[in-house]
Amino acid sequence: MRRSLSSAVTVVALLLAAPAAAQSAGSQSDYYPPRQQAPLGGLDHKAQYEACMQLAESAPEEAYKSGIGWFERNGGSAAEHCVAVALMNLGASREAATRLEALANAPDLAPRPTTRAFILSQAAQAWSQDGQEAKATLARDKAVELAPDDAELRVDRAIARIATEAHFEAIDDLNRAVELAPRRMDVYLVRASAYRYLGQMELARDDVERALAINPQYQDAILERGVISRTEGDKDTARRDFLTVLNIAPDGPAGDAARMNLEEMDVRIER
């Protein structure tokens, strides 16, 4: 079921545009290096990893050079991970994805399925950036297989599934994510979008209200509620919600989406 531009401008689109670091529930250091790893070669590898990963976000070219040098000083898998993330942020998506998948299958990570799943989720992002959605799907599926009770991985896969109109499969993931993280507003919101695409407006509204019960000022939920009203033809109610979003967050992505909806509604009214 395909819908108009106004229906397509949702929080799902906003989440798809968000960087992976912003979507991650935990910090990079939760995964690397092993907490018991002792300093080797005169380096505190945990501190080195944290510094390198921060640099990979702010200055990836420097992080790449630093990671290569660190790897040569016994940095191991942690250094390889930093290099791969730096490459992804430099736009070398295919090389980054290849390195990340190889790293996730490295023997020293075999006892750490959650870490492997986290790395595979990054590989999926890199494959998507390279336009290779089939490989991205395989990586996401493997990540969820390794860590089936990780809500973040479920949400990531659900968003990707919605983008390919696999809405029922996305809802399956989101149902599990709600069980795992019942206070996560974004889970309800993404599920609301999936229900709306399926024409299940009552279920969509229920999930929006669940998100707003946690935070009544959650602008993305108010935006989604406005889109639901507009899809149903209730333009007055939709307009109120879009204007509320602009009052709360006029300069953010939600504000931009609200403004787009308002402008399109006005154009249609004038015709």
Strands (E), 91-233: none
Instruction: Identify whether the C-beta of residue 93 lies closer than 8 Å to the C-beta of residue 126.
Output: yes
Q: Which tens digit of pLDDT belongs to each residue from 161-187? A: 999 999 999 999 999 999 999 999 999
Residue with tokens 């108009």: 4
- Digit-by-digit pLDDT tens for the chain (271 residues) are 333 333 444 545 554 444 333 334 344 555 555 443 445 556 678 888 999 999 999 999 999 999 999 898 888 889 999 999 999 999 999 999 999 999 999 888 889 999 999 999 999 999 999 999 999 999 999 999 999 999 999 999 999 999 999 999 999 999 999 999 999 999 999 999 999 999 999 999 999 999 999 999 999 999 999 999 999 999 999 999 999 999 999 998 999 999 999 998 876 544 3
Round to whole Å and give the CA distance between 145 and 148: 5
Residue with tokens 């390919």: 164
CB atoms within 10 A of CB 211: 25
Instruction: Identify whether the C-beta of residue 67 lies closer than 8 Å to the C-beta of residue 89.
Output: no
Q: Which tens digit of pLDDT belongs to each residue from 41-61? A: 566 788 889 999 999 999 999
Amino acid at 173: D
Q: Read off the pTM.
A: 0.82
Chain-centroid distance, C-alpha 225: 21
Round to whole Å and give the CA distance between 249 and 263: 17
Round to whole Å and give the CA distance between 50 and 101: 21
